[in-house]
Amino acid sequence: MTPAVSDLDAGALHDTLADLARREGVHQWDLGAACSTDLSVQVDRGEPRQLKGAQRSAVTVRAWDGEGRVGITSCTDLSPDGLALALRGAREASAFGDREDPPQLSCRATEPLEPLERPLCGLSPIGRLLETLLDAERQLLDCHGAITTVPYNGLAERRSERVYVNSAGACRQQASSSASLYLYARAEEAGRRPRSAGAVRLAPGAADLDIQGCLEESAALTISHLNYAPIASGTYPCVFSPEAFLDLIGAFSNLFNARSVLDGVSLSSRDSIGQTLAVPFLTLSDDPRHPLHLAAAAFDGEGTPTGRLPLIEAGVLSHFLHSEATARQFGVAPTGHGSMGAKASVSPDWFVVEAAAGGGGDTGLRRDSASGVVWVDSLSALHAGVKASQGLFSLPFDGWLLQNGERRSIEAATVAGDIRTLLRSILALEGPPVLTPSGLCPHVWVEGLSITGEA
């Protein structure tokens, strides 16, 4: 039984599960549920390629036995019968739970939540989404004669709801809506390699999407890569776009991840808090509730409230990301970055990179007057080119070589380095922070990185 998004009721779920738990003799339990309605369309040269609509639900129930071991089950049925079956399964599975360090209910799951105001939009007719995307594709193809296709594109809307309840009285619920547009153009010229680039836009609803800005950015980036040339291998000062720098930080988020520290796969250790990690003018936070973060979550998978967490303050590592279990081992409070599970994973949410209080990050370096500088616009193959536990990366990228402020596309190249050295070699933060899907960040200048051009 798949419930509609509007059918979720945290209070009713709590009461139903509490009654079932009493019957089953389960004294400690919790439940996390998420339901969504999704619509998406894709097109191909003026014709529909795919129209998709789906209702999804996921329910996770945990139950603890008298010895503190936890069992977990997943289902999609929120009816009383379905919940009873899930609770019974979780209780039986608890016999096989971890005896050494089982997870517990978050000590912050019953804290009051700070208000989190976000627009809530209804879903558009799928026919309207299709018409909008077809028109955007047509305009993008008309931008330049070399743009022949838009091979990757998509317009999607989602309406979703999340619930968390537990035996200690926690009762959380949040509804959200989102829309996304992605346009990735491909340009071809005779005797030259095809060149591609894309842009993405997010909004609470499809009517709020900056469609014109998305297609103009996609076209401008694609056209800028037509006049490409090889680059000689060597060491170059680099400037990372906000998207590229945040991708790199995300690839090495084990630096801040308490679960990774405990599992021995982090670049940090228990004693790393308070140590210098980056240049003194850099501040990095994880801020799930930032006003510009459209997909802001009020609470994590364990019911812990979310909030701004400084990770690097003035170059110094100041906090780790914690779930309930890791926070207990470190003797601190959970930070709102945990998932629900027999062994809760820990993950970042939305990064904000900015100059530390007192400034110092703006040294006058500017892309519009630079020479001999590589502008790294987007990174590829992060799944293969990053050795997260060693801090090393070697990644293909799209970008330009700057000469007297003029940019010329680089035919093919990789950028390589060590994330710890990179953070200590930042020269400047250029301009105000730019909004991206994964966070806020300015353009970041780095002293020198190894660039390998195509042989």
Confidence band for 130, pLDDT divided at 50, 70 and 90: very high
Average pLDDT, the chain: 94
Q: What is the mean pLDDT of residues 163-192?
A: 96
What pLDDT is stored for residue 156 in this prediction? 98
Determine what percent of the chain is predicted with pLDDT higher than 90: 91
**Parent domain of 170:** 5-220
On the question of pLDDT at 1 being above 60, the answer is no
What pLDDT is stored for residue 4 in this prediction? 47
Confidence band for 211, pLDDT divided at 50, 70 and 90: very high
What pLDDT is stored for residue 8 in this prediction? 78
Answer yes or no: do 277 and 170 share one domain. no
Confidence band for 100, pLDDT divided at 50, 70 and 90: confident
Q: Given 220, 245, 271, which residue is the final one in a domain?
A: 220
Answer yes or no: do 129 and 193 share one domain. yes
Q: What is the mean pLDDT of residues 84-111?
A: 93
Position with higher pLDDT, 5 vs 360: 360
Answer yes or no: do 175 and 249 share one domain. no
What pLDDT is stored for residue 209 in this prediction? 97
pLDDT digits (tens, 9 = 90+) for 311-346: 999 999 999 999 999 999 999 999 999 999 888 899
Answer yes or no: do 328 and 367 share one domain. yes
What pLDDT is stored for residue 310 in this prediction? 98
On the question of pLDDT at 440 being above 50, the answer is yes
* DSSP type of residue 271: T
188/226 Cα distance (integer angstroms): 8
Answer yes or no: do 19 and 131 share one domain. yes
On the question of pLDDT at 186 being above 50, the answer is yes
What pLDDT is stored for residue 48 in this prediction? 96
Q: Which long-range contacts (CB under 8 A, 24 or more apart) does 216-222 make?
A: 216/143, 218/140, 218/150, 218/183, 218/184, 218/185, 219/140, 219/143, 219/144, 219/147, 219/185, 221/197, 221/377, 222/144, 222/147, 222/185, 222/186, 222/187, 222/195, 222/196, 222/197
Answer yes or no: do 97 and 143 share one domain. yes
Answer yes or no: do 340 and 261 share one domain. yes
pLDDT digits (tens, 9 = 90+) for 219-228: 999 999 999 9
pLDDT digits (tens, 9 = 90+) for 347-378: 999 999 999 987 667 778 999 999 999 999 99
Q: What is the mean pLDDT of residues 108-132?
A: 95
Q: What is the mean pLDDT of residues 112-129?
A: 94
Q: Are 180 and 156 in contact (CB under 8 A)?
A: yes
Both tokens of 8, joined, read: 């979720």
Q: Given 163, 190, 220, which residue is the final one in a domain?
A: 220
87/373 Cα distance (integer angstroms): 59
Q: 59 in helix, strand or coil?
A: strand
Q: Are 226 and 358 in contact (CB under 8 A)?
A: no
What pLDDT is stored for residue 364 in this prediction? 83
pLDDT digits (tens, 9 = 90+) for 246-296: 999 999 999 999 999 999 999 999 999 999 999 999 999 999 999 999 989
What pLDDT is stored for residue 454 in this prediction? 79
391/420 Cα distance (integer angstroms): 7
Strands (E) in 279-333, as ranges, are 282-286, 309-313, 316-317
Chain center to CA of 240: 18
- Residue identified by tokens 């049925």 is 77
Answer yes or no: do 321 and 430 share one domain. yes
CATH label of the domain that carries residue 128:
3.30.2290.10
Answer yes or no: do 379 and 454 share one domain. yes
Answer yes or no: do 213 and 238 share one domain. no
Q: Given 177, 194, 220, which residue is the final one in a domain?
A: 220
Q: List helix spans (H) across 178-337.
A: 211-224, 242-251, 258-263, 324-330
Q: Which of 172-181, 214-223, 339-348 has the lowest mean pLDDT?
A: 339-348
Is 410 buried (19+), middle (13-18) or exposed (0-12) by CB count in 10 A?
buried
On the question of pLDDT at 444 being above 90, the answer is yes
Answer yes or no: do 204 and 286 share one domain. no
What pLDDT is stored for residue 41 in this prediction? 98
Determine what percent of the chain is predicted with pLDDT higher than 70: 97
Q: What is the mean pLDDT of residues 29-47?
A: 96
pTM: 0.94
Answer yes or no: do 147 and 279 share one domain. no
Number of structural domains, the chain?
A: 2
Residues 6+ apart with CB under 8 A from 124: 39, 157, 205, 206, 207
